[in-house]
């Protein structure tokens, strides 16, 4: 029989604990660990949408604080701001998308070498080649 | 009015880069509760998506559903969606009134015959059509006339989906949901009082993206948002499994955030996305604020006993089992869950009409 004092209840304001009030962060860390193994073994990337996770108050802060910050941080300006940063665990990225009003519209964990959205996109590369071409044509004219 | 330009063309014309488009697709996937692996498919589909015409009819309702929609806090996604649907008739939001408004509805119906999306909020009175009319047209006539040329119907809110508050006992207006009048069109029920804003826009986004309706449950609700119970997705669920319950709004259990089951939480019989999508731009949701779920996305929720009566009370002494669970810990807590699942259907059938006395008795 479980006694009350053996149940790991922690206040929501103590982000240092990996377990937290409900223990909902722990399985997520395991999922990230499995995704890292897949990435290392098969080059197989994973995206986890945190909107679909039933977090308790403080769980998101706890997860992000446990992941920590790594060497790379990128700011993307397209339809509002986005922050793309490597966590303290290389290969684990935190991607936050905001809209024009500064409200967050997506929060994702990407387990990959670099999130696809950070790369220059083929369509944009073609477009920039055309634009540079036009600029040079106009200068010559 | 709807036009033939695709969403991809329209975004490029507005100078949106491919990166911006991918960001939009990621947010849309998240909005539609689809896995991130679907983003390439969503990008390909949105690239080709056409701008559909939408006609929105409001019947016996409180405008709460429209309030919910217009308070949705993701303007980038929603405004892009609404830039790319043509909302041709919505009598609360449109500028035109009277005959000009009705002319807009008729024009949209005529020009997009068979292809427009009809959104309905509110129930339809059948006892006497005089209870609710628009421009002298009874709700039932307007619904039949507008539904005839629609590609599909989205019933937004518990009133349109299941009858809602107007249908609550003794149902003086003879209110019925859309599905009891229209039988020959695909209908999606987006229930909730009101529905979660991102669930409304998520269903619209699904139609815009794929040109089809999402997979539905037995009540006609989209599985992606209504596929799991509040209870199964609740962050307080581990406390239920351990048999730890709040008994009043200010006891130790309430302060420690324990399960609200014994205070009447309807989470176990309620299917909705509140536990993950949350409310007010993800700030929180009723259970996180310390109040049990009212079950507002379920049929006849208003008549399902008292809001503060534990689910099991109407039929058998399941609370006794729950108390035992509290003493004996996890194993019996889980057994109580199973027993309660078994008695929920029975409990629903035997629910008595709620009275003012019941409400005053509280817990």
CATH code of the domain covering residue B205: 3.40.50.700
Residue numbers in A near B239 (CB within 8 A): 22
Helix axes B75-83, B18-31, angle to 10 degrees: 100
Q: What is the mean pLDDT of each run of 10 residues along chain A (141 residues)?
A: 62 49 83 97 93 85 94 92 96 92 87 93 90 87 52
Would you place residue B69 in the very low, low, confident or very high pLDDT band (cuts 50, 70, 90)?
A: confident
Query: Stretch B239-257: mean pLDDT, rounded?
Result: 93
Same domain, B239 and B124: no
Dihedral sign, Cα of residue A82, residue A84, residue A87, residue A91: positive
Same domain, B13 and B73: yes
Q: What's the confidence (pLDDT) of residue B318?
A: 39
Same domain, B282 and B330: yes
Q: What Cα–Cα distance (Å) separates residue B318 from each residue in B9, B261, B324, B348?
A: 59, 12, 10, 14
Is residue B25 annotated as involved in ligand binding?
no
Least confident of B54-63, B94-103, B192-201, B306-315: B306-315
Query: Partners of B336 in the beta sheet?
Result: none
B7 or B194, which is more confident?
B194
Nearest to B114 by CA among B197, B174, B157, B52: B52
The boundaries of the domain holding residue A23 are 4-136
Would you place residue B358 in the very low, low, confident or very high pLDDT band (cuts 50, 70, 90)?
A: very low
Q: What percent of chain B has pLDDT over 90?
A: 47
Tell me which residues of chain B, numbers 185 to 204, contact chain A at a CB-CB cutoff of 8 Å: none
B339 or B260, which is more confident?
B260
Give domain status of residue B198, yes or no: yes
The residue from B209, B226, B243 where one domain ends is B226
Asked if the model's pLDDT at residue B70 lies above 70, the reply is yes
Residue numbers in B near A53 (CB within 8 A): 276
Number of domains in chain A: 1
Q: What's the confidence (pLDDT) of residue B78?
A: 54
Would you place residue B321 in the very low, low, confident or very high pLDDT band (cuts 50, 70, 90)?
A: very low
Query: Stretch B321-341: mean pLDDT, rounded?
Result: 38
Q: What's the confidence (pLDDT) of residue A8?
A: 63
Same domain, B24 and B126: yes
Is residue B84 annotated as involved in ligand binding?
no
Q: Pairing state of beta strands A81-86 and A92-98?
A: antiparallel
DSSP states along B131-170: GSEETTEEHHHHHHHHHTTEEEEEEEHHHHHH-TGGGSTT
ω into residue B116 within 30 of 0, thus cis?
no
Same domain, B85 and B65: yes
Determine the Cα–Cα distance for residues B308 and B314; give it in Å rounded to an integer. 12
List all residues 6 or more positions away from B97 whose beta carbon is below 8 Å from its beta carbon.
Answer: B91
Give domain status of residue A10, yes or no: yes
Same domain, B67 and B201: yes
Determine the Cα–Cα distance for residues B51 and B192; give it in Å rounded to an integer. 27
Asked if the model's pLDDT at residue B313 lies above 70, the reply is no
Size of interface A-B (CB pairs under 8 A): 109
Which tokens sit at B163? 């009858």
**At B188, which helix (H) or strand (E)?**
strand B187-190
Tell me which residues of chain A, numbers 72 to 91, contact chain B at a CB-CB cutoff of 8 Å: 76, 78-80, 82
Give domain status of residue B318, yes or no: yes
Number of domains in chain B: 2
CATH code for position A21: 3.30.1370.140
- B213/chain A closest Cα distance in angstroms: 21
Whether residues A52 and B329 touch (CB distance < 8 A) is answered with: no
Give domain status of residue A126, yes or no: yes
Determine the Cα–Cα distance for residues B311 and B327; give it in Å rounded to an integer. 20
Mean pLDDT of the residues in chain B: 81
Query: Stretch B326-340: mean pLDDT, rounded?
Result: 38
SS3 A52: helix
Give domain status of residue B88, yes or no: yes
ipTM (interface pTM)? 0.77
Determine the Cα–Cα distance for residues A91 and B310; give it in Å rounded to an integer. 47
Same domain, B34 and B153: yes
Which tokens sit at A2? 């479980």
Give domain status of residue B158, yes or no: yes
Q: Please check whether residue A2 touches B, CB under 8 A.
A: yes
Residue numbers in B near A112 (CB within 8 A): none
Same domain, B305 and B191: no
Would you place residue B323 in the very low, low, confident or very high pLDDT band (cuts 50, 70, 90)?
A: very low
Whether residues B284 and A57 touch (CB distance < 8 A) is answered with: yes
Same domain, B206 and B236: no
DSSP states along B237-263: HHHHHHT-B--STTSHHHHTT-B-GGG
SS3 B19: helix
Same domain, B196 and B311: no
Give domain status of residue B1, yes or no: no
Helix axes B39-48, B18-31, angle to 10 degrees: 110
Give domain status of residue B334, yes or no: yes
Give the tens place of pLDDT for each residue, B5-24: 677 777 777 777 888 888 88
The boundaries of the domain holding residue B261 are 230-361
Query: Partners of B10 in the beta sheet?
Result: none
Same domain, B297 and B257: yes
The residue from B180, B204, B226 where one domain ends is B226
State the virtual CA torsion across A56, A61, A67, A69 in degrees, nearest 10: 160
Rg (CA), chain A: 20
Determine the Cα–Cα distance for residues B28 and B21; give it in Å rounded to an integer. 10
Would you place residue B361 in the very low, low, confident or very high pLDDT band (cuts 50, 70, 90)?
A: low
Asked if the model's pLDDT at residue B217 lies above 90, the reply is yes
Whether residues A76 and B244 touch (CB distance < 8 A) is answered with: no
pTM to 2 decimal places: 0.79
Determine the Cα–Cα distance for residues A96 and A75; give it in Å rounded to an integer. 10
Give domain status of residue A119, yes or no: yes
**B82-85, long-range: CB < 8 A, 24+ apart:** B83/B10, B84/B7, B84/B10, B84/B49, B84/B51, B84/B208, B85/B51, B85/B52, B85/B53, B85/B54, B85/B117, B85/B204, B85/B208
Query: How is the beta sheet containing B53-58 ordered, strand by strand?
Result: B86-90, B53-58, B116-121, B150-156, B187-190
CATH code for position B345: 4.10.480.10
Q: Pairing state of beta strands B116-121 and B150-156?
A: parallel
- A104/chain B closest Cα distance in angstroms: 8
The residue from B182, B198, B226 where one domain ends is B226
CA A98 to chain centre: 13
Q: Please check whether residue A5 touches B, CB under 8 A.
A: no
Asked if the model's pLDDT at residue B347 lies above 60, the reply is no
Same domain, B297 and B222: no
Give domain status of residue A41, yes or no: yes
Give domain status of residue B72, yes or no: yes
Give domain status of residue A141, yes or no: no
Give domain status of residue B2, yes or no: no
């Amino acid at each position: 029989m479980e006694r009350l004092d053996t149940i790991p209840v922690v206040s929501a304001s103590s982000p240092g604990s990996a377990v937290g009030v409900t223990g909902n962060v722990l399985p997520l860390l395991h999922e990230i660990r499995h995704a890292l193994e897949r990435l290392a073994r098969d080059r197989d990337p994973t995206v986890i949408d945190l909107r679909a996770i039933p977090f308790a108050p403080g769980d998101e802060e706890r997860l992000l604080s446990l992941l920590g910050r790594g060497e790379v941080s990128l700011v993307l300006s397209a339809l509002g701001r986005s922050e793309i940063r490597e966590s303290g665990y290389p290969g684990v990225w935190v991607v936050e998308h905001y809209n024009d009003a500064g409200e967050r519209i997506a929060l994702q964990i990407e387990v990959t070498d670099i999130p696809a959205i950070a790369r220059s996109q083929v369509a944009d590369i073609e477009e920039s080649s055309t634009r540079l071409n036009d600029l040079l044509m106009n200068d010559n004219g | 009015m709807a036009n033939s330009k695709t969403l991809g063309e329209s975004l490029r014309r507005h100078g949106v880069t491919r990166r911006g488009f991918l960001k939009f697709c990621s947010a849309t996937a998240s909005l539609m509760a689809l896995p991130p692996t679907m983003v390439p498919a969503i990008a390909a589909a949105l690239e080709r998506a056409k701008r559909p015409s939408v006609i929105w009819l409001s019947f016996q309702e409180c405008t709460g559903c429209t309030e919910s929609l217009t308070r949705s806090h993701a303007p980038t996604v929603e405004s892009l969606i609404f830039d790319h649907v043509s909302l041709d008739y919505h009598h609360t939001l449109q500028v035109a009134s009277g005959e000009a408004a009705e002319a807009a509805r008729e024009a949209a119906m005529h020009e997009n015959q068979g292809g427009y999306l009809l959104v309905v909020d509110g129930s339809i009175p059948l006892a006497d059509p005089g209870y609710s009319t628009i421009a002298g047209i009874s709700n039932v006539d307007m619904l039949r006339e507008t539904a005839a040329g629609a590609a599909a119907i989205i019933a937004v809110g518990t009133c349109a989906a299941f009858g809602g508050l107007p249908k609550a006992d003794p149902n003086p207006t003879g209110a019925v949901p859309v599905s009891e009048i229209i039988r020959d069109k695909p209908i999606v029920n987006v229930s909730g009082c009101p529905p979660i804003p991102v669930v409304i826009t998520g269903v619209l986004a699904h139609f815009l993206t794929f040109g089809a309706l999402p997979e539905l449950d037995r009540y006609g609700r989209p599985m992606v948002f209504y596929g799991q119970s509040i209870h199964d997705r609740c962050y307080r669920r581990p406390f239920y499994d351990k048999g730890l319950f709040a008994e009043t709004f200010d006891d130790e259990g309430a302060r420690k955030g324990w399960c609200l089951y014994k205070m009447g939480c309807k989470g176990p019989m309620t299917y909705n996305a509140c536990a993950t999508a949350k409310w007010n731009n993800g700030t929180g949701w009723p259970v996180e604020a310390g109040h049990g779920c009212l079950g507002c996305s379920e049929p006849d929720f208003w008549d399902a006993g008292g809001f503060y009566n534990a689910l099991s009370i109407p039929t058998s002494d399941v609370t006794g089992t729950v108390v035992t669970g509290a003493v004996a810990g996890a194993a019996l807590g889980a057994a109580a869950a199973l027993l309660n699942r078994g008695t929920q259907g029975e409990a629903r059938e035997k629910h008595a009409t709620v009275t003012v006395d019941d409400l005053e008795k509280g817990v």
